Amino acid sequence: MPGKTVRESRISMSQLMLPQDANPAGNVHGGVVMKLIDTTGGVVAMRHVRGNVVTASIDRLDFLTPVFVGDLVHVRASLNLVGSSSMEVGVRVETENIHTGELRHAVSAYLTYVALDENGKPMTAPALISETAEDLRRRDEAEQRRKVRLGERKKHRG
């Protein structure tokens, strides 16, 4: 199976935040933002394997700034690392005030997806080809996060 480059599956999605996305104070629910993160990350993983994936984990989420009704939310995601069947996708969320053009970094997250075959069983994912210095940096950082995740999993199962 031939490898694929980071740019082949990279994606950017945007969505306007509406009143149904928010609490009475006008702040968008964290769960709405989390769903956008998982959807965008999942699309990246699906584009890479050209098949189904399942979310295996989401690393820590820190909301750096609130997201408000009326903000245009931009979600950018790309692959950082591919194992045998698992893939780490990095996701960055920015909000844009449509009236002023101000952009704010709202959230970043790393998600792990597992590629699934037609029977819903893990399958081999294509290798990831890192083309740029940025791709390589992100891959190296992802390898360190993977080691931490595997160590945590061992501790929880122990």
pLDDT bracket for residue 153 (50, 70, 90): confident
Please tell me the CATH code under which domain 4-157 is placed: 3.10.129.10
Q: Averaged over 23-33, what is the pLDDT?
A: 93
Q: Averaged over 93-115, what is the pLDDT?
A: 97
Cα separation, 41 vs 27, whole angstroms: 23
Contact 22, 29 (CB under 8 A): yes
Among candidate residues 39, 71, 73, 32, the one with its CA nearest the CA of residue 53: 39
- H-only helix segments in the chain: 30-49, 133-157
Mean of all residue pLDDT scores within the chain: 95
Cα separation, 131 vs 152, whole angstroms: 30
Q: Is a pLDDT exceeding 90 seen at residue 61?
A: no
Q: Is 87 exposed, middle or buried (0-12, 13-18, 19+ CB in 10 A)?
A: buried
Phi, psi (degrees; rounded to nearest 5) at 42? -65, -40
Q: Averaged over 13-32, what is the pLDDT?
A: 95
What pLDDT is stored for residue 1 in this prediction? 72
Cα separation, 5 vs 11, whole angstroms: 13
Cα separation, 142 vs 136, whole angstroms: 10
Q: Averaged over 136-147, what is the pLDDT?
A: 95
pLDDT bracket for residue 5 (50, 70, 90): very high
Cα separation, 123 vs 35, whole angstroms: 25
Q: For residue 20, give the 3-state DSSP assignment.
A: helix
26 vs 115: which has the higher pLDDT: 115
What pLDDT is stored for residue 154 in this prediction? 82
Cα separation, 91 vs 121, whole angstroms: 25
